[in-house]
Amino acid sequence: MPFPAGFKEKYQAILGSESSAFLASFEEEAVSAFRVNPLKEAIQLPETAQPIPGLPWSYYGKVSGKSLQHVTGQVYSQEPAAQMVVDAAGIEPGMKVLDLAAAPGGKSTHILSYLNKQGLLVANEIHPKRAKILVENLERFGARNAVVTNTDAATLSQVFQGFFDVIVLDAPCSGEGMFRKQPEAMDYWTPAYPSQCASLQREILEAAVTMLAPGGRLVYSTCTWAPEENEAIVDWLLAEYAFDLEQVPLKNGMVAGLSQSQTARMYPHHFKGEGQFVARLHYQGVNKVPKKKDPRSNLSVEQKKLWQAFEQEHLQEALPGVLQTFGEELYLLPTGLPALDKIRIARNGLHLGTFKKKRFEPSFALGMALKPSQSHHKYELPEEEFPAYVAGQSLPAHGSPANGWYHLVCGKNGLGYVKISQGMVKNHYPKGLRFQ
């Protein structure tokens, strides 16, 4: 592989006798992996799946983006080194967690697996197009207790000062660890690029620190090996703020950081995966927590009646949270949030559906978030009809079901909602997601 000017020499100096094996690893094929989704009712594992040692839900192997497993959110493709970041975060159900640079959603969906529908995830992505992709991936995964924000860290910190138990920042970086998987990343690399990235990383972290609750944890990671963006950033955090460095467990060929034995590095000649750096820091400082107004429901009396009627007829149990409308769209916000009117929102909790002319229509996201066992009215789509449905076709209904809305189930998992009318299954799969 032809490396950018200066890259080879840099890592020959850093790695010494190991540099030959390190540089030779770039000629090998990138390692693929995925995680299964513990929030789903049933999982169909590909036959070729190989468990990744020491990680719950994690397997080596490839999953097609057009497969039933992917479309129903049973699996999420994520390379092995990236999976080690959230594994190191120590997330437990009930925590309030921020994924500060969240797109496309690998770490956010991993966080949701550990939260297990308890607590709160704020997934932030500053770029609008990437935020849209993040929303799609969280909806497919079945996210309930998540809000997707679309703003910069400084603005976010004005709303969430002293708020989070855990902040995960997989920082924008020089991307050296992705050279094998994404060779185009080499086009941007120069010897000065890591230092330029480090400046941005410090700027983001300055805002991030103010959002930590007392005793909170910061998990800082990059997909690069550049010491300027890794150990040097951790040294800066320890010097400027009240942090203690905690041990990142070394698994599956991870090695200690260059100057900090508690941090972890992943090199492809040691670790079966791509490149990553991870540090875990415990916050000993105290951030002022301003008084915050909690979001309140803003439904009209008629809207509330329409939703309650749908909820009573279709759901086995009431969904906890705060109901809010934005225009005619109904959302369920997780509890415990401050008011969010000062920041851009890409997904304000779980999209429940739409009010239309004195009726309520359920959303695709609701049908993905619910397990089939949580619905009264279900329609089982035969797996052989799955290709036609995701292509946008309406289909004849099986079993003469009555007219009305049904939770669509395929492969024992939700696939949105459908309306059955006069013996036909009307297609409500989102147009932007359809494929042949």
Please indicate, yes or no, whether residues 278 and 301 belong to a single structural domain of this protein.
no
Q: Is 165 annotated as a binding residue?
A: no
CATH of the domain at 409: 2.30.130.60
Q: Is 214 annotated as a binding residue?
A: no
Contact 310, 404 (CB under 8 A): no
**How much is the pLDDT for 47?**
82
pLDDT (tens digit, 9 = 90+) per residue, 309-331? 999 999 999 999 999 999 999 99
**How much is the pLDDT for 293?**
75
Please indicate, yes or no, whether residues 90 and 29 belong to a single structural domain of this protein.
yes
**How much is the pLDDT for 397?**
97
Residue numbers in the chain where pLDDT is lower than 50: none
Domain-embedded: residue 19: yes
Q: Which of 269, 214, 273 is nearest to 81 (CA)?
A: 273
Range of the domain at 166: 7-283
Please indicate, yes or no, whether residues 123 and 82 belong to a single structural domain of this protein.
yes
Strands annotated E in 100-242: 120-124, 146-149, 164-170, 212-222
Q: Is 87 annotated as a binding residue?
A: no
Which among 283, 318, 346 is the end of a domain?
Answer: 283
Please indicate, yes or no, whether residues 275 and 297 belong to a single structural domain of this protein.
no
Q: Is 105 annotated as a binding residue?
A: yes
**How much is the pLDDT for 292?**
74
CA 82 to chain centre: 12
Domain-embedded: residue 372: no
Domain-embedded: residue 171: yes
Domain-embedded: residue 369: no
Domain-embedded: residue 39: yes
Which among 259, 283, 307 is the end of a domain?
Answer: 283
Q: Is 101 annotated as a binding residue?
A: yes
pLDDT (tens digit, 9 = 90+) per residue, 368-397? 999 999 999 999 999 999 999 999 999 999
Q: Which own/partner contact pairs does 298-304 have at CB distance under 8 Å and 24+ positions apart?
A: 298/324, 298/325, 299/323, 299/324, 299/325, 299/330, 302/358, 303/330, 303/355
Domain-embedded: residue 360: no
Beta bridge partners of 207: none
Count the domains in the chain.
3
Q: Is 244 annotated as a binding residue?
A: no
Instruction: Confirm whether pTM is higher than 0.95.
Output: yes
Q: Is 54 annotated as a binding residue?
A: no
Query: Which residues are identified as catalytic?
Result: 223
Please indicate, yes or no, whether residues 302 and 279 belong to a single structural domain of this protein.
no
